[in-house]
Structure 1
């Protein structure tokens, strides 16, 4: 499948570093039920660039022509005119209102007997795609709650004056922010499947390489895409194969029990941590083109799945990632790591 190039966006295959963020995003593409990604890190670390690059990498989707909800025509009883479109990548403006996000019901039109009763919002546009919210930690908690509800259920419901309209809203929710500007409430953080932390690269040689690559890309984006075309195609094929093989991936009962032991020892509230850790390990297994989850698959994903679910203790000197890894290694000590 040919990749349609957006020459304003940096190619995903050319992004240097930030492996944790890239892995979390790709695993959510393989299994959207993981529940999205929260990316926290310093300004200017390529968060927006990476997310746009991933959206460009993904294959086109088939939709009903001119449909505001990007409806999949396959399996419908009625035949519609169709078209292929680039996978939707919707960026939520920081000052967006609930009406802009969810859509509005035109009560005046309804009372007048008209048909144009609903004006779709950003959730409709994001259906079957990616919804990206930069500086999500500055967004109103109620609006974050609305986004998380839609992402989890796959539906958006708008109610006004006793009138209710519901439409599909299946999307991968990606939020990003700078921790210096405040964190999300723990209740909201917990509902994100994964939490990636990114930091400014300190190695001077690597920084110079990143700067040079960006300058060269801006000077001749077409040549840059041609340079990475094979790598881009390989990543796309790998993701598509992983999506197809995900249902075949198996994880042993013993490993599932040990994941739950880790969550229990870390005092993770609820069962989201157990579920997401299992899903992420299976998605990584599929990404690696295997069908049996290994200890390494769990080790590479469990910190991403649990770090934002830990109870905050300001007196602790150990960071969340080290704490999870320590418990993981103790519980899996009998296994070959």
Structure 2
């Protein structure tokens, strides 16, 4: 009996030693490059995330403006790239005439002088709206962007034409599988080198349809990421990367990284080997990911090295990251 217990202890010790070796960063490729910077909504107006839900009109609670840019406009995307972004996130909705409008909301009342839903309008009708109409930082006493956003809602085609060499993360703002198929049909017309600079995330049905139609595309849904990470937690100790993790955008809450086998360098190397992108966001608190790594103290808490960073304040975070990169 004692001998059997000894054998068990030896076996457990070997397994623990194997796990430690397989997941040590000592032999992993070093993350010596600057972290990939992903600018959520381009260079945009910020707002407090406290107490918001899916129905909150965030345009009516912005912080006092520090710049003139409105989210999801081509000008805000260009400004984000100029500030140091490697990837810019944009939101899309189908229009009545078969295009995709780049705009955050399902409905128009919050940000614009229009009414109804984006999908019930033509692209020409959407371009006639003032997308700066609803923004206020003082409870409606003043509207600093009113009258300045007419014609600024771009189509996805315009964005792709204007930024042909830039990396974009496209957010499908629905759970409609047909929307995924329609977007896949549009993206399939792009040259392979352009498609390789795009990623898509959103609801499970449209993202699943996109992955089926365009298996080379890097995508993300909450369900797909959960499948990948749960399988990795079970298998990663042995150095195994699950098939579910291939071609995924992995948006990792900063307070969950400590649970990932081989974080950061071994984990990142494994995911990059299967064509995936790893980005660190704010902590998961109360079931939701925070708005981003937006303050110097948020960045300082992350530690180094890092594969990528999700931020709403590319203008603040990019200079800090650049200064800290050898």
**TM-score for both structures, normalised by structure 1:** 0.24
TM normalised by structure 2 equals 0.25
Q: Which has the higher helix share?
A: 1
